[in-house]
Structure 1
Amino acid sequence: MTNSMNEVINNVKNIASQVVINEIDEREIKLELNEKEVINVLSYLKGNGFSHLSLMTVVDWIAENKFEIVYILFSWETGNKIIVSTKIDRKEAKFVTIKHLWPTARFYEREIHEFFGIEFKGNDDMKPLFLEIWDDIPPLRKDFDPLEYSKKKFPDREYEKDVIHEAKIIRGDING
């Protein structure tokens, strides 16, 4: 691990009382934090070279009844990458926005809200990005059943296959 990463880890240990540190490689680590300490650690990291929020996403740990919120940060100065994660309760799926730290987080939070149902306190822009008329549970939750949804929304149809017409399309005799 680089000296700059060792310094970051030591400072994070002083900020967060509970942190699990996983070294992925020389320039990449993962910090698993208590949800109450995430904002302080992210603020520290942003102020100390990790100015780029590369990605914000969620993992659904349905068996644990938890969502893991994952932030991937990058330092253009050192080339180091830090993954910060925390787990929150699936039933009370709420967390604090980070759009005050990274304005682009507003769009990640909207997407996460839309696809997982997590609310972000402080982000008042939770309108859908993709699923404008969605009326079911968020589709990336592991308890969402796409087959059941399709059967409910789209009636079964029978199609008669026209192999002669398809062969003519493939050969190029006719267009579409």
Structure 2
Amino acid sequence: MMNSMSNMIENLKKIANDFKITEIDEREVKLELSNEQVLPVLLALKEEGYSHLSLITAVDWIDEGKFELVYILYSWNDGGKFLITTKISRNDPKFVTVKHMWPIARYYERELHEFFGIKFEGNNDMKPLFLEMWDDIPPLRKDFDPFEYSKKKFPDREYQKDVIHEAKIIRGDIDG
């Protein structure tokens, strides 16, 4: 791990006293935090040069009944990257917005709301980005069944997979 990142972790221990650290490689570190620790740690990282919010995403841990939120911060100064993660309830998925720190977060949070059903308190712009008139559970949740959804929405269609045609496309024999 780079010295600047090691120093940053030592500073973060003063803010958040108990978190799990995973070194992914020399320039990438994952920190697993409690919900209460996330905002202070994100703010501290931003103030220390990790100012680029590359992504906010989620992982559905259906067996645990949790969603894991993942914030990816990048430093243009030294090329370091921090992945900040926390888990929230899958039954009542909500977290606080970070759009006051990064305006771009507004769109990441909208996407997570649309595809996972996660609400971000303080972000009142949760209108769909992609799925107009969606009327089923969010499609990236592991309990969403795309086949059942298709049968319900398009009952007159017959679904058969043409593996020969797909193999020809993969091999390059034909152009899709």
Same fold (TM over 0.5): yes
The answer for the alignment partner of 1:2 in structure 2 is 2
The alpha carbon displacement at 1:155 in A equals 1.2
The answer for the alignment partner of 1:170 in structure 2 is none
**Structure 2, unaligned runs of 5 or more:** 160-176
Higher mean C-alpha deviation, range 18-27 or range 112-121:
18-27
Q: Which residue identity is paired with 2:35?
A: E
Alignment of structure 1 residues 1-176 onto 2, 5 Å: 1-157=1-157
Aligned length: 159
The alpha carbon displacement at 1:156 in A equals 2.9
C-alpha distance 126-158 of structure 1, shift in aligned 2 (>3 A): closer
The alpha carbon displacement at 1:158 in A equals 5.5
Q: Which residue identity is paired with 1:90?
A: R
Q: Which residue identity is paired with 2:41?
A: V
The alpha carbon displacement at 1:14 in A equals 1.1
Percent identity of paired positions between Structure 1 and Structure 2: 68
Using the alignment, how far apart are the partners of 2:119 and 2:157 within structure 1? Answer: 38
Q: Which residue identity is paired with 2:151?
A: K
Give the 3-state SS of the residue equivalent to 1:14 in structure 2.
helix
Q: Which residue identity is paired with 1:106?
A: R
Using the alignment, how far apart are the partners of 1:58 and 1:155 within structure 2? Answer: 32
The answer for the alignment partner of 1:168 in structure 2 is none
Give the 3-state SS of the residue equivalent to 2:107 in structure 1.
helix
* Cα-to-partner distance string for 1:146-166 (whole Å, 9 max, x where unaligned): 01111111013359xxxxxxx
Give the 3-state SS of the residue equivalent to 1:63 in structure 2.
coil
C-alpha distance 158-149 of structure 1, shift in aligned 2 (>3 A): closer
Q: Which residue identity is paired with 1:43?
A: L
Q: Which residue identity is paired with 2:6?
A: N
**Structure 1, unaligned runs of 5 or more:** 160-176
Using the alignment, how far apart are the partners of 2:157 and 2:99 within structure 1? Answer: 46
**What RMSD over aligned residues (CA atoms) do the two structures have, in Å?**
1.1
* Cα-to-partner distance string for 1:68-118 (whole Å, 9 max, x where unaligned): 000111000011001000000101100000001110000000000000000
Q: Which residue identity is paired with 2:13?
A: K
Using the alignment, how far apart are the partners of 1:42 and 1:26 within structure 2? Answer: 20
Using the alignment, how far apart are the partners of 2:133 and 2:118 within structure 1? Answer: 18
The answer for the alignment partner of 1:163 in structure 2 is none
Q: Which residue identity is paired with 2:14?
A: N
The alpha carbon displacement at 1:17 in A equals 2.2
Provide TM-score, normalisation by structure 2: 0.88
The answer for the alignment partner of 2:168 in structure 1 is none
Greater radius of gyration (CA): 1
